[in-house]
Amino acid sequence: MSIEIDSLIEHLLSDDENVASKARDRLAELSDLNQLPKKVPTTAFTAAANHPDAEIRVRVAQAFLMLRMHCYEFELPADIIVKLLEDSEARVRANAALAAGLFTGDRLFDPLLKALKDPNSWVRREAASALMLTNGPRSIAPLLAAADDASPQVRCGIIHGLSRAESNTVDKNPDVSKQLIKMLSDSDESVRAAAAEGLAWVGDPYAIDALRAAMSDESALVRGAVAAALGTIGDSESFDLLLRQLKTGNHEERKGAASALGELADVRALEPLIAALCDENNLVRMCAANALAYLDSPDTVEPLIAAMRDEDADVRDAVSSALEWIGDYRAADVLLEALNDEYEFVRTNAARALADFSDKRAIEPLKKLLNDEDYYVRSIAKDALIQLGVNPDNNS
């Protein structure tokens, strides 16, 4: 195994994207099989971090990211990340900040604080998110101090960092909600929309009045994000407003309203959400399917079964996920067909649902999925067969 890991790391660092891509797929497969070692050799990283080609140095950070995603006990060589955060190339520094976000500990706090003042906006944005992920509540003060950054992209990153840090904090900091409410009036619509999404993460009822006021924002993107936030926070008094937005708004507004109505789980939204499964916009249809899963009504099943014929793969993903969540056996036939869907996530949703149904008709199709081109589909098919009482290693 150590020989294969050495080879995988070498391939992850390859300047040939096909080679690197295959290495990433193999890494994910080994992770799924629980065959990754607890410690990964870092000698190759040390050499590559000093490589004269910036693309190779970028790949070092990207390889750290992949390893950490699939091997949670992978020990970060912090000195290499610090070196990459100080690289002369902005894209190296940005990727290093992105990778740093998956590791915890104080060792990277000061380097990331420095990166928050980097001359490159991409680096500052990634540093903002990484600070939250690595240091949680400790990151709130420096993120608040940087909230007036000149770049809209960085301000969005700071909102992301603030809201996630605050959502994971027991002792809430009222300054976070106040700052996010202030940013609902930002000059850039993407920042205003991000602020609404951030307030949804924080979940502070204090923000409801400000969000209701923002429903009249000139930007449909913002109005859609605000609608979704009101639903997430649970503002049931906005039900009529959200219903009107679902029926008459543009696609951004309809998308946000559908999500919000699902969060409110008010059965009065059943018929409008079923109608939204036929919306001209695929994202609205997707949000409607997700929302119907929350209504806990048997009347959602037949419309969702019909929506499995949708031409959009993301919509079918949402619909099959909703049917899996609802768990009504009336969906078994269409989910059996979905085991052959061209989209891998639809196949996995169908496999899980049919296993939960204990539907023996799924056994043979699931055996075929053990040879699926997608490793995740193979893994879910194996788990589903085990749940159905079949030994997947005896595929005969």
Q: What Cα–Cα distance (Å) separates residue 211 from each residue in 33, 41, 232, 249?
A: 46, 50, 12, 17
Tell me what pLDDT residue 116 has.
95
Q: Over the stretch 300-328, which tens digit does the pLDDT of each residue have?
A: 999 999 999 999 999 999 999 999 999 99
Tokens of 19: 């080679």
Decide if 294 contacts 322 (C-beta within 8 A).
no
Q: Over the stretch 62-97, which tens digit does the pLDDT of each residue have?
A: 777 777 666 656 666 788 888 999 999 999 999 999
Q: Over the stretch 338-377, which tens digit does the pLDDT of each residue have?
A: 999 999 999 999 999 999 999 999 999 999 999 998 888 9
Q: Over the stretch 40-64, which tens digit does the pLDDT of each residue have?
A: 666 667 777 888 888 888 887 877 7
Decide if 33 contacts 71 (C-beta within 8 A).
no
Report the percentage of the chain scoring pLDDT > 90.
65
Residue extent(s) of CATH 1.25.10.10 domains in the chain? 203-296, 301-396
**Topology of 301-396 in CATH?**
Leucine-rich Repeat Variant (1.25.10)
Which residue has tokens 């196949």?
347
With b for 16 or more beta-carbon neighbours within 10 A and e for fewer, the 286-310 pattern comes to bbbbbbbbbbeeeebbebbbebbeb
Calpha distance 390→360 (Å, rounded): 10
Q: Over the stretch 137-195, which tens digit does the pLDDT of each residue have?
A: 888 999 999 999 999 999 999 999 898 877 766 577 889 999 999 999 999 999 999 99
Q: What Cα–Cα distance (Å) separates residue 324 from each residue in 92, 219, 328, 335?
A: 41, 35, 8, 9
Tell me what pLDDT residue 62 has.
79
Tell me what pLDDT residue 392 has.
86
Tell me what pLDDT residue 1 has.
45
Calpha distance 292→228 (Å, rounded): 15
Closest CA to 45 of 28, 62, 30, 32: 62
- The whole-model pTM stands at 0.80
Closest CA to 387 of 335, 362, 328, 324: 362
Closest CA to 208 of 240, 231, 192, 174: 231
Calpha distance 317→312 (Å, rounded): 9
**Topology of 203-296 in CATH?**
Leucine-rich Repeat Variant (1.25.10)
Which residue has tokens 């950054």?
149
Q: Over the stretch 115-143, which tens digit does the pLDDT of each residue have?
A: 999 999 999 999 998 888 777 788 899 99
Calpha distance 59→48 (Å, rounded): 8
Tokens of 112: 């990331």
